[in-house]
Structure 1
Amino acid sequence: MSSTTHITQIATVAIHVSDQQKAVEFYVDQLGFEVRRDAPFGDGRWIEVAPPGASTTIALVPAGIPAGIRLSTGDADAVHADLVARGVDADAEVLRMGPAAPPMFTVRDPDGNSLILVEDS
């Protein structure tokens, strides 16, 4: 079966951390990663780290923010409509949390694993 996709890459894998600053110190000081993004997010921060030159990042997120794999797409609305038409188990609509966060939605695979599709910023 051949199909096309408008999903462009595995962008970020988010993991839960109990202390974002300690996690940053581990990844940067001990593993040699670099901070790619550090921005306000809700009541906390959205922090992404990665090895130099890597395209995929690790988001160090506090409890309450969904962990998991985030995929990139250029147009969340179009991809959402396409996946729903294909019968994919997807959120009812694209989530918009305001100007600080890009449009996104979640799909679930046959085993219930969640993948979050995020529009490229």
Structure 2
Amino acid sequence: MWSVSVPVADQDAALTFPTGVLGCELRTDVEVWPDARLVEVVPRGSNEELVLLPPDSEIPVAIRLGTSDAQHALDKVREAGVTLHNEELVRMEGVPAMLSHTGPDGNGLVYFEETDEPR
């Protein structure tokens, strides 16, 4: 599974186009921590997500990729010498283990551990 985040000026206003015009479903709308709201929409019948984030969000604007083993992904990224945004896996209740880094061309990338639990 993968997702792409898009910077938006107003998360509430930004929901109108994908849900009202494109027919996407709102999958997630949660405050991850104070002032960090995660809003995800999904085209009907798909698992690929569009994440709507304010440009100043502490949640990184990035491409998100699923992995079966987040620790292995972290080890491989560390070995490659790329810029890690976290030295250890990020683990929060109700959220899959994840890591965040900047790719060689400066793009934000997040790997999250896929689980059997439905999202």
- Quick one: distance in 2 between partners of 1:83 and 1:40? 28
Distance 1:105 1:93 in 2: 8
Is 1:69 paired with 2:63? yes
1:1-121 mapped onto 2 (5 Å cutoff) = 9=1, 11-43=2-34, 44-62=36-54, 63-64=56-57, 65-85=59-79, 87-91=80-84, 93-121=87-115
Q: Within 1, Cα distance between the matches of 2:72 and 2:31?
A: 28
Post-superposition offset of 1:70: 0.6
Q: 1:45-68 CA distances to partner (integer Å, 9 max, x unpaired)?
A: 211112111221101112223112
Say whether the 8 Å CA contact 2:38–2:52 is kept in structure 1.
yes
Q: Which amino acid aligns with 1:119?
A: E
3-state SS, counterpart of residue 102 of structure 1: strand
List runs of 5+ in structure 1 lacking aligned partners: 1-8
Aligned positions, number: 111
Partner of 1:6: none
Give the TM-score normalised by structure 2: 0.77
Larger deviation, residues 74-83 vs 14-23:
74-83
2:61, 2:81 → 1: CA distance?
20
Amino acid at match of 1:83: V
Deviation at residue 14 of structure 1 after TM alignment: 0.8
| Pairwise CA RMSD | 2.1
Structure 2: unaligned runs, 5 residues or longer: none
Deviation at 1:97, TM superposition (A): 5.0
AA of the residue aligned to 1:38: D
How far apart, CA to CA, are the structure 1 residues paired with 2:11 and 2:104?
Answer: 32
Identical aligned residues as a percent: 32
Contact 2:42 2:50 in 1 (8 A): yes
